Structure formats: structure tokens, C-alpha cells
Structure 1
């Protein structure tokens, strides 16, 4: 979680993780502007570098070699990363509209989402695979590799598009699939390739380069269909505009690309292929708050090819102009180069260079291209290379000066107040008008037992406890560990509800307590609204009504809840159906419903050392409710239960074993782990609570041996919104696990068993068999 030392007064929002934006993020990190928050919104945590994609397809590079980790890049550069799908812009309200979550406010916004092929042929959208966006293509490419590996006849693959992208992809795929079939001694099943182009080959390149590639394609056995416009695609075949049908098991579309369909709803002036029309300053010709770069950009005074070289070179001038826009300074024009070098590979570590009328080729050209591409990617690695600063060398320092940003009188007063000596007590509350605006659009689950709640101006809520019920109460509170306030709100609410689920209580009502860093009213309001929207969605889904709370200023964003649940009581006032920690029985099996490792992963994330896909997978796990799992465990006769949180697996297991008077044998090798958790602890990236939790070794019978096990750090790793830890009779274990997995807990597993406590032994022992 980034904690700025100055109040946020302006927001620059980057939509899309394209080449221009990753370059801009590096610039922002090395030239920070105090008081300006940078937010990157992208559907994926990793963005591919187009220059290396053919090499990845050909098998020369691994996935991580050709992808920039956006989540890690943002953590290193001080930007917020929000993984979400953009649906549009509300330019009047100055917000980016996202699918399934609140809008993101901006002062200036830049769009660098890449492009999508214009699939205008009948049936193409249903039966062809667009190469862009590349993430979707990668999934289909992996499926195609598997399909070819299990084929019983040679497949036919059609590539639609004869530009450099189509030709390079065709040759790379053909090289890889031929190599795969030869290695499997199935060379007779190598796929057949057809390349369709409505024009000539590589029409924007010189005649020498065109002839060279025509020769390579012929030598590789690729059938090229020149001047052949594809008019229709059906399952298993395609039709040319001339009426000829061609068989095709797979159709890949690599034609002229354009902007996403959502851009049509923005009201921005667009080209016919939905690219944003721009001034030389990379601003929209009608809205000075909107910028664009890369494939989705269409400069009024320059006709640029959709090539990665232009997207990369736009990055720095884009970043400079975004900063100058929030400073109120004149913008600088971007002047693209008139001639540019294209290095086009043939799949087999051989490449052709093309620049204007020049062209040359060789294996050495591929090595040169490889050196250039790797050097570019190293700029976004942790350490960097050859004197280029990596992520670990970037600075996210902020000074206390905000005078350079033009503020109106009201904003200036708010900014001055935000950096002044702040009051304590009730003087530290969030302002009433800010709080009211932040909460006014929240829809709260109605509950007839709430007699006075959020819609009442009274000093406290009034809640009725239904007859035959008892109230279960718990409280949780912690500081933010992720820069997305909406996701943080979801995790915080889910974490707080975990205690109720573990005891078998039905969530009923909740009160919130939040701290928000001081700043301009607008920024405080937006942060609070985003965080509470995420939290209320989780509470509503659990049937828990938010009835009130308190908000105040704090150095860091934090959120917690007092939550109430209901359990049944009989006519004698005794609780029924309640699961407690102390009910374990010898012979029971210990089940865990979610993987562990959140403490280590977010310790690593704070150091920009965790891969983005690890972080996003952990957040998905943390936002998954335990409610259904709790119901399932009860249905299969669970004898004891708790939720796995800050004290880690050892700490929470001993809380169950001691009151039960039993010994728990934990099978370290059986533990389900979040992706990347083991790698993080192996690098010594541990939670700040790890040391305190590790001192629980005194409850482990074979502590000396257990502490040498590779998974010991994860046995004491503190968890946030972890899974449920429950003991279940051995006869019900298999059916219970099947039910849990069918209900969306695929990592649920048995991690140990319960036995009678031997005399003079400790409550936990670790099975330390090798992994």
C-alpha cells in the first residue's frame, strides 16, 4: 500500500497496460510530481511485449520473458494498480467506468489499450481467433498446442492478414508446431498453413523484403493466397469474396486493427476503425483531459503504422504532457520519426531488417533483435541490466511541496489544512459533507430487525434480536495492504465475517470504522466511497446489514468492522448448532478450505518482489467468502472450527487443540499453498508478524526438526481472510471434500489428523516428510 507523504490533489489515470504506459510509469517514478496520484487500470496483471511475441510462439522465450508485470511495476513506481475491465468514460463527471465496480475519478486520463482486429467478415467474431488482445490469443494458442499434440490427422491453420504481423506469426507458429510434432515422432501430423491477404505480402515494406518473405513462405510449404479477401468464416472452413471455400481447423485474424468497441460510447472523435483522433500533443482533438497513445491513437498530422516502436517512443512525451497538463503548463508536441526500423523474424532465429528502401537479413539480425528486445524488457525487471535502472532502483520519493500544481482557492485551503498540524479527538473525523456524499449511493441490505440504522440521523443504531436467537459479536480492523480501495474493502469485510462463519452464525448487522489519509475533499470522498462500496457488496451478499460506523483521519488507509451474527438458543437459553474451537475428537481429520501464504506474498508485494499473477490470485482467494464452506462443514458433522487469520496455521491449530485436550499431527507436505508463497519465503520475504508467530515453536512437540522444514515459515505465516480450519469425522472426510470442491473451494484438502494427547507431550506435532 503506497502511503504518500503529501495530500493527493490530482489524479492521472492510465487506461490499459500498453507499451506507452509502461514507459510512462518509469518516467513518473524517476520524475515524481508531489500531490499527483498515478493509477493504472488493466484487465490483466501482465502485459505482453509485442516485439517478443513471435519468439514466444516459436518457443524461444518463456511466458515471463515476454510479459511485463504490471502489478509489480506499479508497486515499484508508486502507482496504484487496479485490475478491472473498462466500459467507458463519463467525461462530464471525469470518471472511468468499470465493469462490476465503482468508477475511478480522473483529472486527466490516458488510453493505451492496444487494438483489436476489425473482424468484419461474416462469422469471424464467432469462429476466428483475433491475435489482439494478446492475452486471449495466448489462451487459444496453448489450446492449439494441446490440440495438435493429440491430433490424429494434420490440422489446417489459416492466417488472415498478410502484413508483417500475420507473416511473422504464421512462420513462428509453423516453426513451433513442426518442431513439436517432430520431437514427438509425429512429423507426418505437422499442420498445414494457409495465409490469406486481400493485398500483397507486407504491403508497407519494400519490394526486396516482400520477395524475401515470399521465398521463405514457399520454402516452408505455406500456401499464400494473394488478393483473396475472406468474406465468411464458419466452423471448420472459410469463404473468399470470390466464392471459394477452404477447409480450416483454426482461423487466426491478424488484419488491420482498431480501438475497442467501448470507445464509441465516449463521445470522443474517432476514426473509422475506432482510434482516437489526436493533436500532436497526444490530446483528443475535443477533450483536453483525454490523451491516447499506441495502436489506439490516430494523430491528425501523422499517419502512423500500428507498430510497437511508435508506442514505445510515445511513452516519454506522453508522460511529460500528462504532468504538464495537471500543472497547467503548455504541452509539447510529439514528432514521430519519419523512418523506422522493423526487425521481422522468420520463426527459426533468423530475422529480416526493413527500413525504407533498405533490407538485410541473417541469424545475426535475429541476435541483434533479441539483444534489443531483452534490453527493453530488463528496464522493467527488478534489477535492470547493463547500467539500466531496474525496478529496485526506482524512486517513489515524494516531497511536501504542492505549490507547483494550480489549485483553486478552495482546493488550496484544503491542501494547506491537510499538511498542517492535524487535530485529534473528534476534530479528526471525516467532514460530514464528504462522508454524506461518499455513502449516499450505497445500497444496504434491508433487515426488518434494524429499527434505526444508516438512514437515521440518531446517535446510535437500534437492532432487535429475534426470539430464540443469541447474538454473536466479533471485531476486526487492519491497515490497507493493497492500493485498490474497492478490493481492500471487500477483503476487510470478508475477513471480519470469517469469525461468524466459523462459529456457524448467520451474519446480521455490522458497524464500520475507517481511517482515511487527509487530503482534498474530493480525493477523500472517492477513496471512502470506493472502499465502502466493496465492503457493502460483501456484507449484502452475506445477508449482513451495515447499520453505522465511524470514519476519521489517519496516516494510512484502514478499515474494520464490528459484526453481529445470530445463533439458535433452546428454551433453556442454551446455544444450539454452534461450532467452537474446543470440540476436536481423536480420530478426526483436519481440513483446510483455502490455500495459505498471504502474509509472505504481500510482504513481497510491498517490496515489488511478488509476481502480479501471484498477488491477484491471492486477492481472489481473500475475497472468496467462507459462508458456503461453513455450511458444508456443519452438514458433514464438523466437530470444531475456526478461521485461519493472523496467528497463522500453528497459532490457530493450538487454539483448537488445547481446549479439546488432543494432539494434532499436521502434514506439512499436504498444505495447499498460494502460487508464489513458497518462492517468497525461500527468498526471505516474510511478514512483519512472522517473528512473533514463529515463537509459537514452544507448542510443537518436534519443534527442532519442524523448524528445518522448507514449509516452516508458511506454517506460521499470518493470513488475511484465510480459509476455515475444521475437524471432521474420518467417515465424512471424502464426501465433505468433494462437496467443498464442487462449491468452489478447489484447494480444500486434509492437512492432518487428531489423536489423543500423549502424556507429557505438546499439542502439535509436525509430520516433516520431504515435499
Structure 2
């Protein structure tokens, strides 16, 4: 008998994991955004935050579109859909454990999974191609190489020979786009476009073999008119620096080679038990499900429909979005799946580099500037579906309704208990078995001073204080501001350790306090594991041992640490030569900040879908960077005062330093290092909820009314999470200190001001532009 439907309130009864951010998966995210399935949690695993729309790539290369015009912001779309975004790359599947193996994070559990990672040009199949050619996919790598080629041709003279290997529509269209852009760049600089030459190589007897004769003739004429060498029936068998070899033994000189052929499936798929075709693509049935694992679906270029083989074209990936979303929804709710039959003929709109295009469908061939305008309109409307996100309707904004997810009897009992039967005693502790399983595989770094810790759990940890050392204690705790528990664990640990490093101490031990949302035991266990795995990696890197903690259930994910550190013991007056305090600023010193500002405004914008995904990526990378080496560098360069920037913002923490030091300080607003996007979100009026409390300190700024309209003024009050260190360094050593910080990887570290003698004014902070 089927168990009763679940009560409302639980977000994660079942996990659907989407591997890859291809055209099909963006359609799935949008459909779930507009019609959420209560009890179903979506997770998107993708290496790239911004996924390109392949139909607009030639237009981007030709210079008709900007980067943002042709990319879908996956982090923003996932946030809109209520999905978790994990910035990583899948490298395997554990079918028994039902987990996705990732390159740089713990395995991610799934109940159902879909793969939409596109195809990969097999450059390794041709000797030297992997080293000397650039495949068009992954597109982010191609774009990096393309930008370098643009820069090189713009700044250096001499002849450059560009070759494209692959005579299909993709290769021809890309070559024409590259030629159009590069020749225009040379002409704009008054240089001779004949400095460039282009060649197309294809092993086929003709170009565009899947299109009709009129289309092929149109492009043969276009290539000839543009002076492109076309080598048909020419298979490339070897590539060396500056040349490539054909199967007939002839060598052809080239400077840049773009590879747009021999695509296949990702190599890691070979080590799964998924059925693959001869090219390494995942075989799927009419419902887009793998016949070898009923819990795994695939779509787009990586999939091969056994009963309906089709060319690898973006139109199929786009149109698979609806049937894939519907079948994932059906699978998770126990309903029958629906077959999908792709169309036999499709419209292809192929551009010629300039604002001209050809329409091809069956025997149809239409060409003209108007076809390009038609294509441009179609492409822009497609992108608008995913980048111009409409407001959510009232129904979707309401609390989750009754779930249709089918659970077994034990899971059903857990779900009901999680909502209605939890007591508040003992801090609503997580069950011992769940907690022990979640923590079992964690391996905190060992320290000799720890007598009793996680390696031998007891009622409390026992830690020795080494002779000649003083203890440094700190504590931090905050709720999750991102939906990735692993990354959140890293940030929370870095945030807590910042106080220890700012004091000039080494971290010794940490005790964790965590709150985890209620749910099925398996989901709670994984959340704890992911979060603590991230935290322990950071603690271990700092030489800090996790010795215990407390985990309870609550409405939101949250994590904090009580951290103990060690510092050389001071004298009877408590002073220690190695200790850095807030009161150690000296007139004449230079103020150095080791990380950029802006986390508060950026994550406020992220919650409102007003931040670009790459801005959030950069902010998280900054937050995950430890301040341990920065603190050592500052001490080695004579710093006498230091603090880490957190919730009070730059101004608040600087005021905390000037008062006990008996000094004033000058800040140069133009010198402040800022995270990308921070000025844009502040200008839009998007501020952290803590901003208003921090702004009360504006009375510490001399002539503050003169600076209110400065675009960077609000960022003085922006609260930071896992922010940088602010230190006073002797002026004569400041430049050397800054260079050393940059060499250590703190590339945005900057000199932001100086320490002044105390004056008669009440306000201790002066601003300059």
C-alpha cells in the first residue's frame, strides 16, 4: 500500500542532480522555477557559472554581441529556480551509492540524475593536436585563446595564418566569424588585412555535408570570395608547432588551429556503467533515460537517442528541455514517463560572419541580411527567457504545498516526525547515529596537545597549553548565505579563524556549533557531512584540530566555531612581542588591506537576482582564501596593529583601531580594492541589512557630508564575511610588504591610507579621493 502524502514544509525529500549547464538543463531549471515540485530539491553541478548559447557564439566571435549577450547566468538562474548551484566538474558516478563524483568537492548524492555536458572534440585522436590546437569546446577555453589571439594580432605585426579543422556548419560559420572580426580589427588600425590568411580543412568530400546542395554552393562561393583556402578530402593526421600534416603527407603552415571536429563523449563516462555508443555518447531511450540505469537521464549533445539518431544540433537540446523536465518530475513522483520523438527535419540558420545568414531546412535555402535579422531575433528571444527573469507568481512564492513525492514507510515516518514531532530539548540535537555517520569520514589534523578530541570522543575535549604559550580565544557564528553547504563550511571556518590570525597567533583547536534544517535522515546527514568536510579542510590547512561540537536542528543552515589559538607568552603586563592588537597603530604607518571589499552588497544583490554569477564566484573565492599567510607576511614586515574585517565594515573596524591607538587615519577611496560588481550593486541601492547599523559610524568621518555622494562611500560601511586583514605597517616597508602579499596570492591587496598624528578634531577619519 502506498504511504500517505507528506505534510508540507520539507524542502528536500528527493534530490534531482543536473550535471552540466547545457541548453536542455537551463530549460529544466526554468520549468521547475515556474512550477516548483514540493519536496524536490534541484542541484546543478557545473564548472562554468556562465554557459554560452552555441547559436550566438559565431556572432560573439564576429563582434556583434558582448560576452553577456551570449551567456546564460547559471548561478542566477539556479537561484531563481530554488536550485543549489555547485561550481565544480563531474568526473564519475558511484551507481551503488547514488553519488556524483566531483573534481574538487565531496560526492553529491542523487535520487535521480540528468547529464547535459555537451560533446568534447577529440583532439587526442590526432598526434600533436592536443598540444597545438584549440578545440572549440569547452567554449570557455576557446574564448580565452580567442581573446589572446585578438590581443596578439592587435598589438603585433607580421603575417598570421589561421586554420579551422572541421567542414561542418560549425567550422565554416566559426571561420567566417573569425575572419570578419580580425580583418576589421586590422583595418581599424590602418593595417593591411592581407596580414591574415585563413584555411579550412575537412576530411569530407564537401563542406556542410548534412545540408542541401544550394546551401553548400552558397558557402563555397562565400569562402572563395573571402579568399579562404578550402581543403576538402583532407584528413589532418599530425599537428606540430607552426604546421599541420594531411593524410597524403603534405604539410601546411599554420599559426593558429581551431578544432571543430571529431566530437565525442567525455572520457570519464567510459568508467561508468552507462551504455555508450561508438563515439562515447550516452545512449538513452525515448524517455531520455539510460537503459542501463533507470535513475539517470541524459540530453543534448552528450545523449544519443537509440531509436531516433539525429545530428548534434542545438535545436534538439533546446527542445528536449520540456520532455526532460516532465519526465524527471514524473520519475520523482512515481508516475509513468512520456516518450519524446524529435522532429526529422529542422531549421538551421547559419551566419556568414557579417550580418548575413543562410536558412537551411531540407531542400530549402534562403539567404540575405534579413535572414540574419531573423536569426538575431530568435536568438535574443531565447536568451531573454533565461536572463530576463520575470517575477515569480504568487502561487510559486507561497510555502511549499503537499508533496507528491512517494516515500517508503520509514521515510514517511521521518518526514512526519521532522515537521510535527521534534522536541526542543537538548537544543533539538541531531540524532547520534546520523551525526556519527556524517562525521565518520572526517579526518581532523592531529596535534600532540589534544588529549581528548574527536579521535576519542568524550563529554568534553581536553587540550594542553604548551609551555611558554598564551591562549587566544574567539567565537563566530552565522547562518548560511549560499546554498552550497561545502563552500559555506569553508567560508565559516575562514571567518572564524580570521580573528586568530589577526592577533598574530596560530590556530590550535576548534569546536563547532551547527544548525541543520529538519528532514529525512539521509538528507540531514549529507548536509552535515558536506558542510563539515569543507570546514575541516580549511581548519586542517591552518593546522587547527576540530575537537568537538554540537549539532542541532533548526529552520536554517548555520555554522560557527569557537577557536583557540596559541601565541608566545607575554610578561607580567600581558604584552607579547608577537601579538598584534587593534591598539598598536603608530603615526606615519601605512594602512594595508589584504582582500577586496564588497561581500555584503554582492550577496544582498544575489538574493534579489541582481548580481552576475561571476561576481559571486569571485566573492566566494576571496572568502575561501585563508588569511594565515597574509598575517605572517604582515608581521614579517613590521606590522604593529591588525584586525580582520567582518560585520562592522572597513570604517567600523578602523575606528576600533584608531581609538585605542590614540591616532587618526586617512583613507583614499580610489585606492580601496573592490570585488567585481560591488560598485554596480551599491549604485543600484542594494545594501546589506547590516549597512544601516554600520552607517551610524559616519560621525567618525571628518567633513563626511562632502563624501556622501562619492560612489565608493557606501562601501566603507559594507559588512564583510571572511574579509581581509587591515594592518598598520611602517611606511618604509609598505611597498615590499605589498609585493610579498601579491606573490603569496593576495593579488588584490592594496595600500589604502596612512596613520596620522592625533589632531584637535573630534572625527578620527579623513577621506581623500
TM-score normalised by structure 1 residue count: 0.97
Q: Secondary structure at the match of 1:615?
A: helix
Q: Is the 8 A contact 2:9 2:401 kept in 1?
A: no
Whether 1:576 aligns to 2:582 is no
Whether 1:144 aligns to 2:149 is yes
**Structure 1 pair 101/661, CA: closer, same or farther in 2 (3 Å)?**
same
| Post-superposition offset of 1:398 | 5.8
CA shift digits 1:36-71 (9 cap, x unpaired):
100001001000000100000000000000000001
| Post-superposition offset of 1:477 | 0.3
Whether 1:325 aligns to 2:326 is no
| Post-superposition offset of 1:75 | 1.2
CA shift digits 1:243-277 (9 cap, x unpaired):
11000101111114221111111111101211000
| Post-superposition offset of 1:392 | 6.3
| Post-superposition offset of 1:404 | 1.5
Q: Secondary structure at the match of 1:47?
A: strand
Counterpart position of 2:167: 162
- Once residues 767 and 600 of structure 2 are traced to their aligned partners in structure 1, the CA distance between those partners, rounded to angstroms, is 21
1:354-393 equivalence runs, <5 A:
354-383=360-389, 390=390
Counterpart position of 2:752: 751
Once the two structures are overlaid, the 10-residue window that deviates more, 705-714 or 275-284, is 705-714
Counterpart position of 1:709: 710
CA shift digits 1:478-520 (9 cap, x unpaired):
0000111000000000000000000000100000000000000
Q: Is the 8 A contact 1:14 1:40 kept in 2?
A: yes
CA shift digits 1:383-442 (9 cap, x unpaired):
5xxxxxx36669753644444111001100011112215321216101101100100000
Whether 1:68 aligns to 2:72 is yes
Q: Is the 8 A contact 1:269 1:277 kept in 2?
A: yes
Counterpart position of 2:3: none
Q: Is the 8 A contact 2:701 2:767 kept in 1?
A: yes
The partner residue of 2:39 within 35, 38, 51 is 35
Counterpart position of 1:386: none
Q: Is the 8 A contact 1:157 1:191 kept in 2?
A: yes
- Once residues 476 and 403 of structure 1 are traced to their aligned partners in structure 2, the CA distance between those partners, rounded to angstroms, is 36
| Post-superposition offset of 1:8 | 1.1
Count of residues paired in the alignment: 759
CA RMSD, 1 decimal:
1.3
Q: Is the 8 A contact 1:442 1:533 kept in 2?
A: yes
Where does structure 2 lack aligned partners over 5 or more consecutive residues? 1-7
- Once residues 395 and 731 of structure 1 are traced to their aligned partners in structure 2, the CA distance between those partners, rounded to angstroms, is 63
Counterpart position of 2:656: 655
Counterpart position of 2:519: 519
Q: Is the 8 A contact 2:39 2:403 kept in 1?
A: no
Counterpart position of 1:18: 22
- Once residues 391 and 400 of structure 1 are traced to their aligned partners in structure 2, the CA distance between those partners, rounded to angstroms, is 18
**Structure 1 pair 640/128, CA: closer, same or farther in 2 (3 Å)?**
same
Once the two structures are overlaid, the 10-residue window that deviates more, 308-317 or 391-400, is 391-400
- Once residues 445 and 413 of structure 1 are traced to their aligned partners in structure 2, the CA distance between those partners, rounded to angstroms, is 38
- Once residues 77 and 145 of structure 2 are traced to their aligned partners in structure 1, the CA distance between those partners, rounded to angstroms, is 27
Q: Is the 8 A contact 1:382 1:391 kept in 2?
A: no
- Once residues 391 and 371 of structure 1 are traced to their aligned partners in structure 2, the CA distance between those partners, rounded to angstroms, is 23
Counterpart position of 2:343: 337
Counterpart position of 2:182: 177
Counterpart position of 2:533: 533
Q: Is the 8 A contact 1:237 1:246 kept in 2?
A: yes
CA shift digits 1:265-312 (9 cap, x unpaired):
111110121100000000001111010000000001011111110000
Q: Secondary structure at the match of 2:536?
A: helix
The partner residue of 1:122 within 124, 127, 139 is 127
Counterpart position of 2:5: none
CA shift digits 1:619-666 (9 cap, x unpaired):
000000101110011011112100011000110000000001111111
- Once residues 67 and 108 of structure 2 are traced to their aligned partners in structure 1, the CA distance between those partners, rounded to angstroms, is 31
Q: Secondary structure at the match of 2:610?
A: coil
**Structure 1 pair 391/23, CA: closer, same or farther in 2 (3 Å)?**
farther
**Structure 1 pair 591/365, CA: closer, same or farther in 2 (3 Å)?**
same
- Once residues 314 and 332 of structure 2 are traced to their aligned partners in structure 1, the CA distance between those partners, rounded to angstroms, is 27
- Once residues 163 and 221 of structure 2 are traced to their aligned partners in structure 1, the CA distance between those partners, rounded to angstroms, is 19
Q: Secondary structure at the match of 1:563?
A: strand
| Post-superposition offset of 1:116 | 0.8
CA shift digits 1:64-91 (9 cap, x unpaired):
0000000111111111101001111111
Counterpart position of 1:468: 468
Whether 1:690 aligns to 2:694 is no
The partner residue of 1:81 within 66, 80, 85 is 85
CA shift digits 1:526-554 (9 cap, x unpaired):
01100000000000000000000000001
Q: Is the 8 A contact 2:470 2:570 kept in 1?
A: no
Whether 1:546 aligns to 2:546 is yes
Whether 1:306 aligns to 2:307 is no
Q: Is the 8 A contact 1:567 1:576 kept in 2?
A: no
Q: Is the 8 A contact 1:6 1:398 kept in 2?
A: no
Counterpart position of 1:609: 610
- Once residues 87 and 349 of structure 2 are traced to their aligned partners in structure 1, the CA distance between those partners, rounded to angstroms, is 32
Q: Secondary structure at the match of 2:288?
A: coil
The partner residue of 1:265 within 264, 271, 274 is 271
Counterpart position of 1:232: 238
Counterpart position of 2:433: 433
Q: Secondary structure at the match of 1:411?
A: helix
Q: Is the 8 A contact 2:38 2:403 kept in 1?
A: no
**Structure 1 pair 7/611, CA: closer, same or farther in 2 (3 Å)?**
closer
Counterpart position of 1:633: 634
Counterpart position of 2:359: 353
| Post-superposition offset of 1:6 | 2.1
Counterpart position of 1:223: 229
| Post-superposition offset of 1:150 | 3.0
- Once residues 766 and 447 of structure 2 are traced to their aligned partners in structure 1, the CA distance between those partners, rounded to angstroms, is 46
The partner residue of 2:60 within 56, 59, 71 is 56
- Once residues 45 and 395 of structure 1 are traced to their aligned partners in structure 2, the CA distance between those partners, rounded to angstroms, is 29
Where does structure 1 lack aligned partners over 5 or more consecutive residues? 384-389
Counterpart position of 1:446: 446
- Once residues 687 and 407 of structure 1 are traced to their aligned partners in structure 2, the CA distance between those partners, rounded to angstroms, is 40
- Once residues 684 and 396 of structure 2 are traced to their aligned partners in structure 1, the CA distance between those partners, rounded to angstroms, is 23
**Structure 1 pair 182/626, CA: closer, same or farther in 2 (3 Å)?**
same
Q: Is the 8 A contact 1:6 1:399 kept in 2?
A: no
The partner residue of 1:207 within 213, 231, 240 is 213
- Once residues 505 and 399 of structure 1 are traced to their aligned partners in structure 2, the CA distance between those partners, rounded to angstroms, is 46
Q: Is the 8 A contact 1:29 1:394 kept in 2?
A: no
- Once residues 278 and 271 of structure 1 are traced to their aligned partners in structure 2, the CA distance between those partners, rounded to angstroms, is 10
**Structure 1 pair 396/444, CA: closer, same or farther in 2 (3 Å)?**
farther
